[in-house]
Structure 1
């Protein structure tokens, strides 16, 4: 009996008995003619479940597809707890999840919103409807998640952002954005049309579930405040979290708990 208890304790502590199944795969992008590394997280008991909802989880600038599972192992536990599939695609270096008109090798809007979603639905037992798909991310990925959710409301029913760069215009020389859009001075119209805050006109009340989260010491705090005000002006319901914190993993390790609970409640409501 004692040996059995010790073995059970080891299994629980090591995560062997109750853990999500994590894999890294190559997903081919036809539009970019290359394979994109993608982490897939299947919740414990996936094979016993009916079709499951999917959360697309995007990394930030300078990161990659493995950031979330490597830096925040709790993502796997949350996938188990809420019985959702989590997909973490690579977003390249400074893609901002746009379809670049300047660089044809950066067509990440099409990849994530169309090619990746189609691949996931073909490979896994998913609920193939917008009410069962959500997308969120941090920093560049927070921008990308809201940008894609707002522009592809037929694909995603909920969008979130953690410390997102939701208005790119105050940062014309940062984070490779000019490489994807051209310089702000020479291509202002492109910058205006590729920033999240200028997608708000696409929303109607209740058309998209939204959760926006940003720390008060974050350099993106001001633009998140402006997005919040814009949504209020247009009477777009949304959840907005502001708490002490900066632009770092300490903040995002907490933020992901709020995001995944929010998405879980959305999925439950629409089931």
Structure 2
């Protein structure tokens, strides 16, 4: 932990010396027949060098959008310089949960974020286009989305993280538009069971994904994160799991994203 804190302190001084580029683009979805906005952050060196870069996909939470991270954590852009990575912040719409909805054919965000966006980014940016150089993380709804997509698309992603993730939303059947995406829980429990992160674990083998999961101890998702952690231990899946003081808010996530990006940088450099 001392090494991690020291490294982050060194980076905090480095971050002020570079100028990453922040672009808002639109990526067309063949699955949903529409273009959707996305923020792409490239390091300062991207303008001058022909090198290729790892990519971290960062998913927003319920009621958020593609611009959340750059607006609420302005320092995140400089992390692209610090780690020489491309950061991609897609829009997951209002309450998509990054699923291909079984009850609403206009909401196919598993296909969009899990397949279409990475393919588009690899075609239009100088990426290291392999799973070993792609990671995905997110907060709250996006934490669910990141783990859900990474486990189901291990050919695309090599590492995944979650910050305050809604990794099992079944205890919250009346919240966050979930019934609009999956049908009412009392009538469509099978849809809910099939689409929670904890029920994706049978498709996960040890070290098939590098995983980092964290949640604040006063967060309303702490219990489901603890249960996920226990399930991973029982299944013998290596992962980093962090609990620390914090709630479900941007104060927590502004700190958490620094640890997540540090973790992914170490993964890319192995």
Q: What range is the shorter-chain TM-score in? A: over 0.9
Question: 1:249: which partner in 2?
Answer: 250
SS in 2 for 1:45: helix
Question: 1:186: which partner in 2?
Answer: 187
Question: 1:198: which partner in 2?
Answer: 199
Report the Cα distance in structure 2 between the residues aligned to 1:19 and 1:49, rounded to whole angstroms: 18
* Cα deviations by residue, 1:232-254 (Å, 9 ceiling, x for unpaired): 00000000010000000000000
* Cα deviations by residue, 1:89-147 (Å, 9 ceiling, x for unpaired): 10001000000011111100000111101100000000110000000000000000000
For normalisation by structure 2, the TM-score amounts to 0.93
Structure 2 matches for 1:12-161, cutoff 5 A? Answer: 18-47=18-47, 48-161=49-162
* Unaligned 5+ runs, structure 2: 1-12
* 1:49 Cα deviation after fit: 4.7
Report the Cα distance in structure 1 between the residues aligned to 2:232 and 2:223, rounded to whole angstroms: 14
* 1:73 Cα deviation after fit: 1.1
SS in 2 for 1:77: helix
Report the Cα distance in structure 1 between the residues aligned to 2:193 and 2:210, rounded to whole angstroms: 24
* Unaligned 5+ runs, structure 1: 1-11
Q: Structure 1 runs of 4+ off > 2 angstroms?
A: none
Report the Cα distance in structure 1 between the residues aligned to 2:145 and 2:188, rounded to whole angstroms: 20
Question: 2:176: which partner in 1?
Answer: 175
SS in 1 for 2:135: strand
Report the Cα distance in structure 1 between the residues aligned to 2:81 and 2:225, rounded to whole angstroms: 30
* 1:74 Cα deviation after fit: 1.5
Aligned length: 257
Report the Cα distance in structure 1 between the residues aligned to 2:106 and 2:86, rounded to whole angstroms: 28
